Chains A and B, each alone.
Chain A
């Protein structure tokens, strides 16, 4: 058995493969990346909503980035209920205080974290939302309590511009 020595030809092969791989990658990447959200989609990043007409115990739904946002003005009972839940009873433990900085207003993405359906308001076994697609139950803080969804409904980035206006995004 002869000893294998690295020669000039091996170097040329390796260099050719390496440059070729970079070239193929650089050609394929634009083909893949063109499918990601484009500039016009990204431009629609924030929405302002007037919530002065929402009464306690009512939810409005607004569209943000093509997805529904639930804005619920919660009653005192609902706030008390949401804040009394023990963290160990939750599948995805989150304090209501962290989900609704202003306890009266719950602003969340109205999208079930299972497979993306829109849950129904004031339905289900936990007095919150119920997803009709595959039976996930959410409580009055939008936290998953029962069913296949893995996490609580998401809280988007939002802020109160003034007492009556919420800016989402």
Chain B
């Protein structure tokens, strides 16, 4: 938070600001001191905000033409694609926008993992982020059901049936979710309602996420606490605004490539066949962004334990600030963690790949090994690494590596104790 008091220049501005301090908020956001060494991995927060707004705006427009009824949903989506002016464009932006949203959020999450952004004092930011991620998955799943194609229908059947793994009350919960004895019209209408609601919940949580971020300020690639404002910081505007804006433009090129050149490559052809409760498609797979968790689900040969493993794989992230015992945030100064980090990245990519393949033979074996390693990373490697790892000396400030070390003995000692 900027410490200085802000007074608007104009008389009206002052009058207004005394009654509702919006201008103070705007001033805080523009002056907000930001570490000056933020790299492009830090631009994905802004990109994600853009993704959320895009999904809300295109979704609002689609809802004007879509009909949430089991007999009409599929046709209304085709109507949007063929008849509605620019309907094809709006729907392709919305459908590919979901994938772009997840692409950006995965980069955002793995940036946090590399630079230790989840560590004290930023645990709450991290946990809010995990809740946003869970809601994103819910919104994506619910939205995927709405076109009422074969993948919509059977995806909805498989995912809602996950709840039937709960002992005793599972079947009752599934019937309650469906509003019937199978996925049908009542299911579709409630999924549409919830799909409409969740983005606004996410929007509210994004406000909390940014609010919580502005209390300690941004982490940075060096991962040290910095004085704010100081020679280590720059004001958010114009420095970060321009950098974020440039990154957003690059991101939009990728986005536009998918929308205009390969709008269906991330979807499944089966979803252009209307839902049929009598025939399950030969090979059901979720969207690419859920594949690693799907692989974990399938790698466990027991129904309840499979569901537990899949949920744990996501929820374990919320405990990360306490599982990672190292005091050093940035992987730049953690030579061993850096290697395990990249092994984890590879592990998740492998899980994603085998999640898209049939669950048999070698694929199943690979999925099991990769699942075991995923949990090993968080439950064993991270806690032990904090104790055992010999970290590199961290600089005292962002400018120190450039301008030379501090002659101050007290801070130098403090630095040594940090490295133990």
Instruction: Write the residues of chain A forming the contact surface with B, with a CB cutoff of 8 angstroms.
Output: 32, 35-38, 41, 61, 63, 65-68, 114-119, 131-135, 147-150
Contact = CB atoms under 8 A, between A and B. Distances in A.
Contacts of B186: 35, 37-38, 41
> Interface extent on B, as a size class?
35 or more
Nearest to A41: B180
Contacts of A66: 180-184, 277
B278 interface: yes
A38 B178 CA distance: 11
Interface string B152-183: 00100110111010000000000111111111
B283 A36 contact: no
Contact of A68 (B158, B277, B284, B303): B277
Contacts of A135: 358-360
Contacts of B279: 118
Given A65-B182, A66-B180, A115 B162 contact: yes
Per DSSP, are chain B's interface residues mostly helix, strand or loop, or mixed?
loop
Given A35-B179, A66-B180, A67-B181, A114 B303 contact: yes
Nearest to B284: A133
Contact of B282 (A38, A63, A132): A132
B280 interface: yes
A65 B181 contact: yes
Contacts of A41: 179-181, 184, 186
A37 B180 contact: yes
B277 A63 contact: yes
B277 A67 contact: yes
B302 interface: yes
B175 A148 contact: no
Contacts of A61: 278
Contacts of A65: 180-182
A118 B157 CA distance: 10
A41 B176 CA distance: 12
Contact of B179 (A36, A131, A132): A36
Nearest to B299: A148
B278 A115 contact: no
Contacts of A114: 161, 303
